[in-house]
Amino acid sequence: MENTSEAFIGFDFDKIYDFKEMPDKNSGRCDNCNNAHFKSSVGKGKFIRECSSCGLKKSI
């Protein structure tokens, strides 16, 4: 696995990214860790997808 300091470069994990502005690099996989397992929730009328491995969030 990659060094953790390199794995999280460029992403703000407190921010919820918009899927329209930042679509998946690899469909159905996390852009940060390439994991395919997500937690999902609805917040403020939007569907939020959170990577269960690294915590990267996207509004779908």
Count Cβ atoms below 10 Å from residue 46 Cβ, excluding itself: 13
What's the CA angle centered on 10, arms 20 and 14, to 5 degrees? 70
pLDDT digits over 17-52, tens only? 999 999 999 999 999 999 999 999 997 889 999 999
> Phi then psi for 12, rounded to 5 degrees?
-100, 115
Kindly report the pTM of this predicted structure.
0.77
User: Residue type for 20, please?
Assistant: K
7: pLDDT strictly greater than 60: no
